[in-house]
Structure 1
Amino acid sequence: MKQSFDVIVVGAGSMGMSAGYHLAKRGIRTLLIDSFDPPHEQGSHHGEPRLIRHAYSGGASYVSLALEADRLWLELEEASNQKLLVRSGVLNMADRALFKFQARIEDAGRAGVRVEWLDAAEIRHRWPAVRLPETYEAMYEPDAGYLFSERCVAEYRKLALVEGATILPYTPVEQIWSEGSGIRVRTRVGEFAADQTIISAGAWFKTLEPFVTLPIRAVRKTVGWFRSEPGLFDAGAFPGFTLGTDNGGYYGFPSIDGAGIKLGRHDGGLPWLPGETAAPFGHLEQDEGDLRQTLENYMPQAAGALLRGAVCKYELTPDEHFIIDRHPVHSNVILAGGFSGHGFKFSSAVGAVLADLIEGKKPSVDLGMFALSRFDTISL
């Protein structure tokens, strides 16, 4: 195996694998290194599917990034001849005392994204199995939906290899350092050199300190699949959804091929550090209990038997916005992290943005809000 490349990507999950594909497709000699064998169950991309929405909170940068990501997912579908994106629609519901959708609806209108505002009565009319108090309202996106996340990563991997990328799985990175005008990476199978490096290590960034120290904390998160009444919550009849309640924020998916309605909680989670064993689903009573209680309150006909539970990891920044920026000391190192449990949908576009930065091109999306400099307490 050769030891020198144009670019080394450290962390080949959703963002890293997308970047590796886009780099290799542009003729850039690329090595992707991962501690596991992507797609795998040690990060944030397993346990399909993932929502993709376009009318996004956080402003125009997210909306434009979501639209570009959508375009690139369709491009990946065509290149791989695989179905990756399902336009199920996404129903975003919340108690108006906690969250109002007006700003998102206005941003969507400026970007040409189709949305509808619905009150509780209209929600119940369209989806009778949803039980919401009158204080709830919703923003419905008919063109949104969900992505088969593991399939997406697998297809990017296949195509990256076709384009000439090299992938080194089951290979933890032991050290990164600057040497001359380049970067060196040490692993248990040897050292590798590159002109530039992308670090997209997800919840594992702490293993790369002190070369890079980011304000990212990792937490253990759980999701569950529950048996639902036939027909009411099946894919094709029920949309993806988010639900903002006074007991937390939730997200979910219809029952796909009888797998059961999937529900997860966005907030909360237990602290986790690399090297620790994340407790399996069911270790804590609230792993199932919190999800079940939410279904019983708002979608009782979907609160059947638990069919499956899974554990994943969030990598959270203090403001839950991403970090996409150059290393403040080493300008030939690009950092992509802190995707905070809502990043997967953007990974097709983030990979292309990272490839643009490697080539010295101005990305088509404004990255200002993702700058590392917004955290004034960081130490590197």
Structure 2
Amino acid sequence: MAEHNSYDVIIVGAGSMGMSAGYYLARRGVKTLLIDAFDPPHTQGSHHGETRLIRHAYSGDPAYIDLALRADRLWKEAEQLSGIELLVRSGVLNLADSAVYSFSGRLAEAKIRKVPVQQLDAGEIRRRWPGLNIPETFAAMYEPDAGYLYSERCITAYRQLALGQGAELLTNTSVVNITARESSVTVHTTNGDYHGASAILSAGAWFGALAPFVHLPIKAIRKVVGWFESSPAFAAGNFPGFTLGAEEGGYYGFPSIAGAGLKIGRHDTGLEWKPGTLLAPFGSEASDEQDLRRVLETYMPGAAGRLLKGSVCKYEYTPDEDFIIDRHPLHSNVLVAGGFSGHGFKFSSVVGEILADLATSGATNHNIQPFALSRFTPDHSQAGLILEGI
């Protein structure tokens, strides 16, 4: 085994989760190699497009709130260590038609976990943010301590920090196969073979390209976002990040930052995408702009100006939209982290910490039980997960 190609841990996929894990491993003195098919940050994954929301008041499993709060602390630490501004506490305004969605579960969990939230009716929403055209049936949950992350900067910061701690990064290198034994993993790439005692697979929407070594119940979906000319009422400093649930669907967005226009995307719907196929550019589907513009014209008319820019990225959905953080069904020295289902970026700092925990000590103090692969099999065994199509 060639010494210069040998590592303690090899990370396949150096996007948000992988780059973070690379830093937390290298910081612990672990000899780490990160491999990416592109040169992160890049536009071929799920981390581009300038911004991602960070919020803390989740419903569902309480693990999400605990992880979001820890992730927030780690983002601030990465910001201080790298000298790069990563997190803006703009607040996040969660809007919903009461006929479509109720905030009761999230409000209850926030109270238990002492996450600051404010419950607002339609009149209060319109008073605080006059640019909104909100019907009386709407209500909101406002998180004053939430905000947004500069997503590409986050990758850049963790890349800088990981390399500064001695991690190695192999860019523009595709993985063609992976083989694993009890105490070793070999990653076969277009630039040669690399050997590790263990591996972390964090390939995002590209997990399909790692078959047949691993099959995860993940479906990659094409998503679009647009930036629209908007009035000063929607400028950063005047308007928060937001989510919106209505009969038209589920949407999310950001204020106009430095005049770039209000950014909005749709969380639900989308076309399936397969690794290796063309990702159709923004505007290829008539609905790309129409869906976004219809919602703006209805609820945020002052942000329904001309389209300034459009972009496409990918979500990686699991059947239940909860994450996958677990060991490979057949190889205990291979970790898998994927299926972040369009709400994972904010957690990537703490997911990196979790993966470093698991790779170095075999356990983590964070609750990752909700993200076990076994939940997808009827008997809660993992054996069936290596089969195609699950």
Q: TM-score range by the shorter chain?
A: over 0.9
Post-superposition, which runs of at least 4 consecutive aligned residues in structure 1 deviate over 6 A?
none
Per the TM alignment, residue 56 of structure 1 is displaced from its structure 2 partner at its CA by 1.1
Per the TM alignment, residue 59 of structure 1 is displaced from its structure 2 partner at its CA by 2.7
More off after superposition, 353-362 vs 114-123: 353-362
Aligned ranges 1:295-306 → 2 under 5 Å: 295-306=296-307
* 1:379 correspondence with 2:388: no
For the residue of structure 2 that corresponds to 1:312, the secondary structure is: strand
Aligned to 1:37: 39
Report the identity percentage: 62
Q: Given that residues 59 and 107 in structure 1 are in contact (C-alpha distance below 8 angstroms), is that contact kept between their aligned partners in structure 2?
A: no
Aligned to 2:381: none
For the residue of structure 2 that corresponds to 1:20, the secondary structure is: helix
Using the size of structure 1 for normalisation, the TM-score is 0.98
Using the size of structure 2 for normalisation, the TM-score is 0.96
| Gap regions ≥5 residues in structure 1 | none
Aligned to 1:177: 179
For the residue of structure 1 that corresponds to 2:120, the secondary structure is: strand
Whole-angstrom CA distance in 1 between matches of 2:17 and 2:364: 16
Which letter maps to 2:185?
A: I
RMSD: 1.0
Residue by residue over 1:306-360, the C-alpha shift from the partner in whole angstroms, topping out at 9 and shown as x without a partner, is: 0000000111100111000011110000000000111000000000000000112
For the residue of structure 2 that corresponds to 1:106, the secondary structure is: helix
Whole-angstrom CA distance in 2 between matches of 1:201 and 1:351: 13
Q: Given that residues 326 and 332 in structure 1 are in contact (C-alpha distance below 8 angstroms), is that contact kept between their aligned partners in structure 2?
A: yes
Q: Given that residues 59 and 104 in structure 1 are in contact (C-alpha distance below 8 angstroms), is that contact kept between their aligned partners in structure 2?
A: no
For the residue of structure 2 that corresponds to 1:171, the secondary structure is: coil
Aligned to 1:311: 312
Give the length in aligned residue pairs. 379
Residue by residue over 1:12-53, the C-alpha shift from the partner in whole angstroms, topping out at 9 and shown as x without a partner, is: 000000000100011000000000000000000000100000
Aligned to 1:366: 367
Aligned to 2:164: 162
Aligned to 1:131: 133
Whole-angstrom CA distance in 2 between matches of 1:22 and 1:128: 44
Whole-angstrom CA distance in 2 between matches of 1:140 and 1:363: 32
* 1:338 correspondence with 2:319: no
Whole-angstrom CA distance in 2 between matches of 1:151 and 1:346: 15
Whole-angstrom CA distance in 1 between matches of 2:351 and 2:272: 26
Whole-angstrom CA distance in 2 between matches of 1:330 and 1:131: 54
Aligned to 2:244: 243
Aligned to 2:69: 67
Whole-angstrom CA distance in 2 between matches of 1:364 and 1:107: 21
Q: Given that residues 88 and 238 in structure 1 are in contact (C-alpha distance below 8 angstroms), is that contact kept between their aligned partners in structure 2?
A: yes
Q: Given that residues 61 and 370 in structure 2 are in contact (C-alpha distance below 8 angstroms), is that contact kept between their aligned partners in structure 1?
A: no
Aligned to 1:256: 257
Cα pair distance change 1:180/1:115, threshold 3 Å: closer
Which letter maps to 1:157?
A: R
Q: Given that residues 329 and 385 in structure 2 are in contact (C-alpha distance below 8 angstroms), is that contact kept between their aligned partners in structure 1?
A: no
Aligned ranges 1:25-104 → 2 under 5 Å: 25-104=27-106
For the residue of structure 1 that corresponds to 2:34, the secondary structure is: strand
Per the TM alignment, residue 178 of structure 1 is displaced from its structure 2 partner at its CA by 1.1
| Gap regions ≥5 residues in structure 2 | 379-383
Per the TM alignment, residue 361 of structure 1 is displaced from its structure 2 partner at its CA by 5.0
Whole-angstrom CA distance in 1 between matches of 2:364 and 2:29: 18
For the residue of structure 1 that corresponds to 2:358, the secondary structure is: helix
Q: 1:224 aligns with which of 207, 226, 235?
A: 226
Q: Given that residues 91 and 242 in structure 1 are in contact (C-alpha distance below 8 angstroms), is that contact kept between their aligned partners in structure 2?
A: yes
